[in-house]
Amino acid sequence: ELVLKVRIQAPNLRENDFIEIELDRQVLTYKELLRVSCQELGVNPEHVQKIRKLPNTMLRKDKDVARLQDFQELELVLTVSDKNLLFRVPTLSEQSGYNKKASELTY
């Protein structure tokens, strides 16, 4: 087995720890890496824009995955659409301390 450290790329999360996943060395493909990573992190594979090997290398194909070594750190970079915001920023009215009446005052 190949053991990798994977997380979701989300700078706005307070806790963004890595999890360890295991891949069968006989099936080291990009598709299998994507499947296992998404399954372990609870992410829909359709929301993954790319897989990044930290600090700055994008994985694109099976040969890239085959070169990975134990405990390398990977990030899933997610796409964000208006309909399905996985990590959305609270609107002004949802933020704590927001006073609706004060926002309606006119001078």
C-beta of residue 74 within 8 angstroms of C-beta of residue 58 = no
Hey, is 64 helix, strand or coil?
Answer: helix
In the chain, domain spans: 2-78
**What is the per-residue pLDDT for 80?**
72
Q: Which fold has domain 2-78?
A: Ubiquitin-like (UB roll) (3.10.20)
C-beta of residue 19 within 8 angstroms of C-beta of residue 5 = yes
Q: What is the pTM of this model?
A: 0.71
pLDDT tens figures, 44-94: 999 999 999 999 999 999 999 999 999 999 999 998 753 344 444 444 444
**What is the per-residue pLDDT for 106?**
54
pLDDT tens figures, 1-41: 999 999 998 767 677 889 999 999 999 999 999 999 999 99
The Cβ-side half-sphere exposure at 34, using a 13 Å CA radius, reads: 18
**What is the per-residue pLDDT for 65?**
95
Hey, is 30 helix, strand or coil?
Answer: helix
